[in-house]
Structure 1
């Protein structure tokens, strides 16, 4: 029996709530915890894991939508050959990526474990969390001292204050790192035009996602006048969105996330298409856990040159792995042969709901 013919099951689904070390401030919300959905899928003696953390700006899927769809999907695939199960999940992937990603990625990694064949070091981005004039110098120095050479700052609140804040960060960084500026959809066109006209471009790697995802005309107008390089994230939910970006030429950089792509194979197709079109690619999810970020790290190590944003695993107060991968000199390190081992007691401790579906009960 080939791997694709092996029946799917058992399957375990977990709905977790992971408190964060520090509240994570975005233009549209402040997160105190991650609501993370985790799947473990068995194929005979092999298993894989996948996860997602739904966030309103990335998808219309709510946490309740994701949990409901996961329970529906697991009953549809349990007992089916793995190849058929992947095809079943693919049919709903673009429509509900965050509900598809945990099961799709668990199946993909059960079939092809993401075990590095050599030592990997993936440079990560460091996020400046503080907007406090007194605390930010210390935080930025700590990030630079830890080896981060790309820093992210959040804007999208008040233009005048944001301009002053970016200028202050530029002053403190003093050319020692690149700066990504993320508005998280927080601006109108008028606000974004004012922002790009007032910020000194020196040291700015990209200005990310100033508008709501559907504001393509505004993005094209901004691209025509912005001295800052532009990047899209939330606007790119499907392959069709990527094609629209390529057609309009309204950003030179695009960011992808595994959970938003809905699976590893889909993610790698998006990356390949973007690179073929001459776009710079950024990969990684700052709102994710150990499992999702690990899978992104393995992809980034072979396909991405920019600093990764898969730093969500550093935000929860406790890691979910018994053998957590580490960050050294600003890079995530995966030793050759590394295989993540989840602490299932810790998973259980953070679970607010779960579902187990046995193979025997569902096989046809």
Structure 2
């Protein structure tokens, strides 16, 4: 199969409500997206949101430049050849490389994306209310919709965070699990104070208390935490997964497609996590339908807890013509389900696009 055309999009997809984390508040997701078309009519899609401070040595500008350079280089190549050419780029450019590699895997109809029987992938849902006195109504709504794991962002102020978590615990009354996520925002002293003071009732884990590069600080928090710690931002590949397994108090590791570079390497990482006796968590809460679908397909055979690939639920409109099927707090994929991207809408929400073909140089808009 030869590549006939590559289209890339610098999108700005609006959200229904602001998505607040410790260091940022998102009103839109700005993924880089690529579609690859072959001469026999096959189409593959890939995406990644590159967030400064999350990706290692990658920025949105660098990712866009990567896609433009490789778009021109790959036009006319074979699909297998293109994957081999991109593989060495994963180490330094995992997010950007994953966009193109996963699109190629989609063209190949990777077995990881082929749903041969109905599949159910439970999702978690965020608690957006920041006022401890106002979380009850939101919690009740999430329970009514069938969600049984709630994501609670912390890392703002230790005392206020503890008060809000306690309010959510009271509102839940044991009806759902809680995942706490500091997104690297605590100092080691703040993280230790917060983690040691937690009532563990109903709390599944506490995610990434301190800076991704400060393994000692995260280990110090894990040592006193009343609940298992999960590492996310610190994890980029097998080496970090294996390092996490050596830290007392770390029981979970989270991975995402855009950090591993390909579907096949994502699956390998999930298997390695399980082999080390840790529990894997999968999913990108800042992704659109494309990555969320791909991660759901991988999740159906690799994880047994709620997926975090819920970014598509935060969008004002889906990127798929037929939205990902969701009911009772889970993605519910029928057998043989396959997406169809609404390209006119994608172009409408894109700030910049470029096209590379076998017969012309890039056309940039």
Q: Distance in 1 between matches of 2:35 and 2:138?
A: 37
| Alpha-carbon distance, 1:361 to partner | 4.3
Query: Which residue of structure 2 lines up, in the alignment, with residue 21 of structure 1?
Result: 16
Q: Distance in 2 between matches of 1:269 and 1:302?
A: 12
Query: Is the CA contact 1:254–1:279 (under 8 Å) kept in the aligned structure 2?
Result: yes
Query: Is the CA contact 1:230–1:252 (under 8 Å) kept in the aligned structure 2?
Result: yes
| Alpha-carbon distance, 1:13 to partner | 0.8
Query: Is the CA contact 1:38–1:102 (under 8 Å) kept in the aligned structure 2?
Result: yes
Q: Distance in 2 between matches of 1:294 and 1:348?
A: 20
Secondary structure at the residue paired with 2:71?
helix
Query: When the two structures are superposed, what TM-score results if normalisation uses the length of structure 2?
Result: 0.95
| Alpha-carbon distance, 1:198 to partner | 1.2
- After superposition, the C-alpha distances for 1:210-267 in whole angstroms (9 at most, x for unaligned) are 0111111122222222221110000001222122212345511000111122221111
Query: When the two structures are superposed, what TM-score results if normalisation uses the length of structure 1?
Result: 0.95
Query: Which residue of structure 1 lines up, in the alignment, with residue 117 of structure 2?
Result: 118
Question: Are 1:224 and 2:223 an aligned pair?
Answer: yes
Q: Distance in 2 between matches of 1:94 and 1:248?
A: 24
- After superposition, the C-alpha distances for 1:76-102 in whole angstroms (9 at most, x for unaligned) are 222122222111111111211111111
- After superposition, the C-alpha distances for 1:33-66 in whole angstroms (9 at most, x for unaligned) are 1111111112332111111111123213221111
Query: Which residue of structure 1 lines up, in the alignment, with residue 50 of structure 2?
Result: 54
Query: Which residue of structure 2 lines up, in the alignment, with residue 164 of structure 1?
Result: 163
- After superposition, the C-alpha distances for 1:155-195 in whole angstroms (9 at most, x for unaligned) are 00100111111111111111000100001101011101111
Q: Distance in 1 between matches of 2:77 and 2:340?
A: 26
Query: Which residue of structure 1 lines up, in the alignment, with residue 295 of structure 2?
Result: 296
Most deviating of 46-55 and 241-250: 241-250
- After superposition, the C-alpha distances for 1:126-170 in whole angstroms (9 at most, x for unaligned) are 110111234311100000111111111010010011111111111
Q: Distance in 1 between matches of 2:103 and 2:355?
A: 15
Query: Which residue of structure 1 lines up, in the alignment, with residue 101 of structure 2?
Result: 104
Secondary structure at the residue paired with 1:33?
strand
Match of 1:39 among 31, 34, 39: 34
C-alpha change, 1:172 and 1:333, in structure 2 (3 Å) is same
Secondary structure at the residue paired with 2:300?
helix
Query: Is the CA contact 2:285–2:309 (under 8 Å) kept in the aligned structure 1?
Result: yes
Query: Which residue of structure 1 lines up, in the alignment, with residue 178 of structure 2?
Result: 179
Q: Distance in 2 between matches of 1:57 and 1:250?
A: 25
C-alpha change, 1:250 and 1:73, in structure 2 (3 Å) is farther
Match of 2:75 among 58, 74, 78: 78
Query: Which residue of structure 2 lines up, in the alignment, with residue 326 of structure 1?
Result: 325
| Alpha-carbon distance, 1:358 to partner | 0.9
Query: Which residue of structure 2 lines up, in the alignment, with residue 245 of structure 1?
Result: 244
Q: Distance in 1 between matches of 2:73 and 2:268?
A: 25
Most deviating of 300-309 and 262-271: 262-271
Q: Distance in 2 between matches of 1:302 and 1:30?
A: 33
Question: What are the residue-to-residue correspondences of 1:272-287 with 2, within 5 Å?
Answer: 272-287=271-286
Q: Distance in 2 between matches of 1:249 and 1:202?
A: 21
Superposed CA RMSD in Å reads 1.4
Most deviating of 288-297 and 49-58: 49-58
Query: Is the CA contact 1:183–1:208 (under 8 Å) kept in the aligned structure 2?
Result: yes
Query: Which residue of structure 2 lines up, in the alignment, with residue 3 of structure 1?
Result: none
Q: Distance in 2 between matches of 1:183 and 1:301?
A: 27
Q: Distance in 1 between matches of 2:144 and 2:118?
A: 23
Most deviating of 198-207 and 80-89: 80-89
Most deviating of 223-232 and 151-160: 223-232
Q: Distance in 1 between matches of 2:184 and 2:279?
A: 20
Which consecutive residues of structure 1, in runs of 5 or more, have no partner in the other structure?
1-5
Give the total of aligned pairs: 357
Query: Which residue of structure 1 lines up, in the alignment, with residue 270 of structure 2?
Result: 271
Query: Which residue of structure 1 lines up, in the alignment, with residue 200 of structure 2?
Result: 201
Most deviating of 106-115 and 190-199: 106-115
Secondary structure at the residue paired with 2:301?
helix
